Amino acid sequence: MENNFFFEAIIYLAAAVVCVPIAKKFGLSSILGYLFAGIIIGPYVLGLIGQEGEDIMHFAEFGVVMMLFLIGLELEPYKFWRMRRFIIGMGSMQVMFTATILFVACLIVMPWDWRSTLAISLALTLSSTAIVMQTLKEKGLTKTSMGRSSFAVLLFQDIAVIPILAILPLLADGAVPDETLNQSLISDLSGWLQGLIVFGAIAAVYIAGRFLFVPILKMVARTRLQELFTASALLLVMAVSYLMQLVGLSPALGAFMAGLVLANSEFRHELEGDIAPFKGLLLGLFFIGVGASINFHLIMADPAFIIVFCTIFNIIKFLVLLGVGKIYKKSSDQNLLFAFALSQAGEFGFVILGFASQLNIMPTILSSQMMAVIAMSMVGTPFLLLINEKWIDPYFGVKEKQPKKKFDKIDDDEENHVIIAGFGNFGSTIVRLLKTNGIPATVLDMDSDRVESLRKMGFKVYYGDASRLELLQAAGCENAKLFIAAIDNPRVNLEVAEKVKKHFPNLKVLARARNRSDAFDLVDMGIKDFYRENLYSAVHLGVDALVELGHRKYTAMRQGQRFIKYDEQSIFRLAEKRHDKTAFLMTAMEEIEMQEQLLKNDLYAQLGAQDHAWESTQLKKEASDTD
């Protein structure tokens, strides 16, 4: 059994590791890679995995839940509120028009019973959140107008699943509703009580988000155990999903709400960083499952029907979306992209069809055929988008992504140009200076108490370990202009600086350095802008000492300026020299040796002799020579 599990895990992982890079190599989206991985290891090609593809999909659907949680996290309630017109308007139009047209068309053309026709058209109306959102993310389109509309429609569809699943049993002939199926805890209760409980659950998520999640996360954060925080993040998402399932709501919707509630908390970036890898893996698994569950026998039995039907329903969906986009006055290229992206059927289709066939609304053969249609349309989407991108889109004007539009700027403002890690004495001074000059900075800090108090004062501070790549990405390192590494712990600070330098080579890094040897390490990383925390105050004190001993203040200050420049140059010189030695680590002896060398060099430096401004010695000499 255990061997079996390992073997399966290895097959899945290996398939993903082999197929996804190949897909990427050909410029295809990773989704296609996963889908093909699924097809290849599935029962109809290699047969490495059997029919369990669908079971795996049920498990992996949790990836979709996590994705919605992340989307909620990124959205922030006020933005969600601003989108309400699109969610309700575009979403309802798409769902109603598509379902109606599909229903009427199938009723006329197909020899199906009207009940199964209705179930099928409803199932096909819903698009795939997983495929669309993942694709948008990969292509960096989530913040364009098309991305926002797609999201609005998908969100409405997620909500629409609930009433659709509620209506289906009414279609059944009455005799067959299967009690065990998809029934929530409360389905025996009367209608108004159910409604009350559902609203209660939603309110509970909201209130818990406000008053329970954040204090718990804070408590966990104080333990400073990374894995415990990850565990609580997972617990949070799972608990909310479970609660939603108990009251018969879609878990994805619940996760989305939980994300929305937490979007304003200081843990936002940390949660994003923690959940993102799970989401990615589960979604990958989900796509593999879709690929593996495509029943090629069924397709081969009547390929013409499946392919033609798939094409026609895709076209209908595409046209409806195009129309909805037109009503909302999208530019042609955005509208095309929008229509192509959402033209497939999605994971909810499987759920609805499965439910319908269990209710005996339609024969199993028909529902399996439709599932194959859905799977095919999901596989087709990335290709459609590729076709659009390569051949259709070029004919339609400019892409909207270019800056210059006010609309986009609102979103840009969300991401600060400056990201600063560490809000100790050092970092906070920097942030204050920037702030007094009207420049907001995104701050990452490990101390959750400090984070909270600073947030109250209106600073944009997030809790998290800045040496984690996910957090850096979540904080917006991709688009920032400046990264300031100002963490108190020098080791961590170097680690962070190195990580940023490595993963975001275009991002300028200004780094705090505790002392000379830190500075050497920074030079080795290629960071030239380092700031030794004790140099400037030590020189400042030295200048004051000179003044106390009778030097004029301006002269003493100029000596200080020169000393700093001279010392900074010596760092670069010595950093190179250091590599002549075999040992990289600075031993205490070497440190002393270096100090000696510095002092010796100072004797030859003759800082005062650089220029002779305002000195008259020479002039006097020349005057006396000529006299």
Partner 1 sequence: MPNKILILFAHPLFEKSNANDALVQHIPDSPNITFHDLYQEYPDFDINMKREQELLYNHDIIVWHHPLYWYSCPPLMKQWIDIVLEHGWAYGKEGWALKGKLLLQAITTGGRRENYSSTGRDRFTITQLLEPFNQTARVCNMIYLPPFVVHGTHSMSQEGYDDHAELYAQVLKYLEDNDPELDELANFEYLNDWFKTKIS
The binding site for partner 1 (CB under 8 A) comprises: 558, 561-562, 565, 610-614, 618-619, 622, 625-626
What does the alpha-carbon distance between residue 306 and residue 481 come to, in Å, rounded to a whole number? 51
Residue 329: phi and psi, rounded to 5, are: 55, 50
Residue placing its CB nearer to partner 1 in the complex, 55 or 615: 615
Residues contacting 413, CB < 8 A, separation 6+: none
How crowded is residue 228: how many other Cβ atoms within 10 Å of its Cβ? 13
What does the alpha-carbon distance between residue 365 and residue 383 come to, in Å, rounded to a whole number? 28
Residue placing its CB nearer to partner 1 in the complex, 565 or 577: 565
Residues contacting 407, CB < 8 A, separation 6+: 145
Residue placing its CB nearer to partner 1 in the complex, 40 or 605: 605
Q: Do 33 and 23 touch, CB atoms closer than 8 A?
A: yes
Could you please report the per-residue DSSP string of 165-226? HHHHHHHS-SS---TTSS--TTTTS-HHHHHHHHHHHHHHHHHHIIIIIHHHHHHHHHTT-H
Residue placing its CB nearer to partner 1 in the complex, 190 or 618: 618
Closest separation in Å from C-beta 581 to partner 1: 32
Reduced to 3 states (helix: H, G, I; strand: E, B; else coil), residue 485 is strand
Residue placing its CB nearer to partner 1 in the complex, 435 or 562: 562
Q: Do 469 and 489 touch, CB atoms closer than 8 A?
A: no
Closest separation in Å from C-beta 10 to partner 1: 60
Closest separation in Å from C-beta 347 to partner 1: 55
Closest separation in Å from C-beta 532 to partner 1: 17
Residues contacting 288, CB < 8 A, separation 6+: 12, 15, 16, 34, 35, 37, 38, 41, 53, 56, 60
Closest separation in Å from C-beta 384 to partner 1: 47
Closest separation in Å from C-beta 626 to partner 1: 8
What does the alpha-carbon distance between residue 470 and residue 338 come to, in Å, rounded to a whole number? 29
Closest separation in Å from C-beta 618 to partner 1: 5
Strand order of the β-sheet with 482-485 is 461-463, 441-445, 418-421, 482-485, 508-513, 530-532
Q: Quick one: DSSP state of residue 466?
A: T
Residue placing its CB nearer to partner 1 in the complex, 173 or 622: 622
Residue placing its CB nearer to partner 1 in the complex, 326 or 565: 565
Closest separation in Å from C-beta 413 to partner 1: 22
Nearest residue to 154 (alpha-carbon basis) of 82, 51, 252, 37: 252
Q: Do 256 and 77 touch, CB atoms closer than 8 A?
A: no
Residue 561 structure tokens: 């300026």
Closest separation in Å from C-beta 613 to partner 1: 4
Residue placing its CB nearer to partner 1 in the complex, 548 or 611: 611
Q: What is the dihedral of CA 368, 372, 374, 375, to 10 degrees?
A: 130
What does the alpha-carbon distance between residue 248 and residue 185 come to, in Å, rounded to a whole number? 8
Closest separation in Å from C-beta 565 to partner 1: 7
What does the alpha-carbon distance between residue 99 and residue 120 come to, in Å, rounded to a whole number? 9
Residue type, 444: L
Residue placing its CB nearer to partner 1 in the complex, 467 or 570: 570
Closest separation in Å from C-beta 426 to partner 1: 21
Report how far Cα 205 is from the mean position of its chain's Cα atoms: 23
Closest separation in Å from C-beta 275 to partner 1: 44
Nearest residue to 526 (alpha-carbon basis) of 544, 506, 547: 506
Residue placing its CB nearer to partner 1 in the complex, 528 or 621: 621
Q: Do 152 and 129 touch, CB atoms closer than 8 A?
A: no
Closest separation in Å from C-beta 493 to partner 1: 26
Burial per residue of 531-565, b for 16 or more beta-carbon CB atoms within 10 angstroms, e otherwise: bbbebeeebeeebeebeeeeeeeeebbbbbebbbe
Closest separation in Å from C-beta 542 to partner 1: 16
Residue 329 buriedness (CB in 10 A; 0-12 / 13-18 / 19+): exposed
Residue 201 buriedness (CB in 10 A; 0-12 / 13-18 / 19+): buried
Closest separation in Å from C-beta 622 to partner 1: 6
Residue placing its CB nearer to partner 1 in the complex, 557 or 598: 557
